[in-house]
Amino acid sequence: MGDGAPAPAPAGVSASNRPPPDRAGVGLKSEHYRTVLETRPDLGWFEVHPENYMLAGGPPLRYLEAVRADHPLSLHGVGMSLGSCGPPPRGHLDRLRALVDRFEPFVVSEHLSWSRIGDRFLADLLPVPMTREALDVMADNVARAQDHLRRRILIENPSTYLQFNGEEIPEPEFLSELARRTGCGLLLDVNNLFVCASNHAFDPCAWLDAFALEAVEEIHLAGHAVDDADGHPIRIDDHGSAVIEEVWALYREVIGRRGPVPTLIERDANLPPFEALLAEAHLADRVAREASALRGAGGSGVVAGAASTGRA
């Protein structure tokens, strides 16, 4: 191929559809295509943003097909804007469904956020107010998306930096009720929970007490930045560094309560060599197995897991 991309893969995919629950994955970046295909890493799965592959053809789709031949895949959407009034754009849903049919992902997920007003799209995932009206909007749109895609989707808890006046429903209850009403699953981003707990001064374990952990089918782990330029530290979810120890501790707590769930190392900025992400994924594998074993023995995720805090 003149562009250096792999030749088109045979029709269909060959890797198993679903990874074991105690195997971690990483986000697939174009910078790592060749390393992944040449080294065929021992990794549970990969995740991509489907919007980057809504193409008629070309190298990105061929690379993704080649990677998918060896690994399960998750599609993590950023374009449905399920918190906007009115249904998600039909064309977007059609393109997403075509990717779902082609790549057979084990998970399709989206965010508790909005980024569209009419036909105008914004570059950020904006926060949804925790109100009954917003819950109705989200539930309608999640149901529409699931009907169109003919499958369950997962909705992710956001990282936020402000809270609205007049909010009516605590966030974990909002998400739990959304899952109950629509049958959707939940994606628990443990770093987002830690960031929000720090920014808004609440106890993340109390948040988990009110959250439908049984509906969680994927977990995200990531690093974040701290901005204290005005003397008031705020944690920014930038996916630009390694997972910090406090987030690993909260991850142990979640696995201790929930059991192992496929977990993603999210990294979108300051991209390191692929080997560094693979090492972080292997650490997540180990932490999940340790926390899960302690759960089986009746131990607490955080307290008992404190014996193993070193990075692999």
Residue nearest to Fe ion (CB): 220
Which of 19, 158 has the CB closer to Fe ion?
Answer: 158
What gap in Å lies between CA 257 and CA 260, rounded to an integer? 9
Strand 120-126 and strand 114-117: pairing?
A: antiparallel
Angle subtended at Cα 151 by Cα 146 and Cα 152, rounded to the nearest 5 degrees = 75
Candidates 114, 19, 24; CA nearest to 68 is 19
Measured from the CB of residue 66, what is the shortest distance to Fe ion in angstroms?
25
Stretch that binds Fe ion, among 80-88, 123-131, 215-223, 225-233 (CB under 5 A): 215-223
Nearest partner of 66 among 52, 46, 42, judged by Cα: 46
286 CB burial (10 A radius; 0-12, 13-18, 19+): middle
- Candidate list 23, 144, 220, 267; residue touching Fe ion; CB under 5 A: 220
In the complex with Fe ion, the residue whose CB is nearer, 13 or 264, is 264
Nearer to Fe ion, 220 or 295 (CB): 220
Stretch that binds Fe ion, among 64-72, 79-87, 182-190, 199-207 (CB under 5 A): 182-190
CA angle 224–218–65, rounded 5-degree value? 95
Q: Closest distance between Fe ion and the C-beta of residue 73, in Å?
A: 16
- Separation between Cα atoms, residue 70 and residue 172, nearest integer Å: 36
From the list 22, 47, 189, 285, which residue makes contact with Fe ion (rule: CB under 5 A)? 189
Cβ 220 to Fe ion shortest distance, Å: 3
Shortest Cβ distance from residue 243 to Fe ion (Å)?
A: 12
C-beta of 5 vs 138, nearer to Fe ion: 138
Give the 3-state secondary structure of 224-292. CEEECCCCCCEEECCCCCCCCHHHHHHHHHHHHHHCCCCEEEECCCCCCCHHHHHHHHHHHHHHHHHHH
CA angle 143, 257, 159 (to 5 degrees): 55
Contact call for residue 267 and Fe ion (CB under 5 A): no
Among 53-61, 129-137, 141-149, 217-225, the segment contacting Fe ion (CB under 5 A): 217-225
Contact, 49 vs 60, CB < 8 A? no
Instruction: Give the contact letters, 81-120, x = binds to Fe ion (CB under 5 A), - = no.
Output: ----------------------------------------
With CB under 5 A as the contact rule, which of the stretches 97-105, 219-227, 253-261, 293-301 interacts with Fe ion?
219-227
Q: Which span sits near Fe ion by CB under 5 A: 38-46, 62-70, 110-118, 185-193?
A: 185-193
Can you give the C-alpha Rg of the chain in angstroms? 19
Residues near Fe ion (CB under 5 A): 189, 220
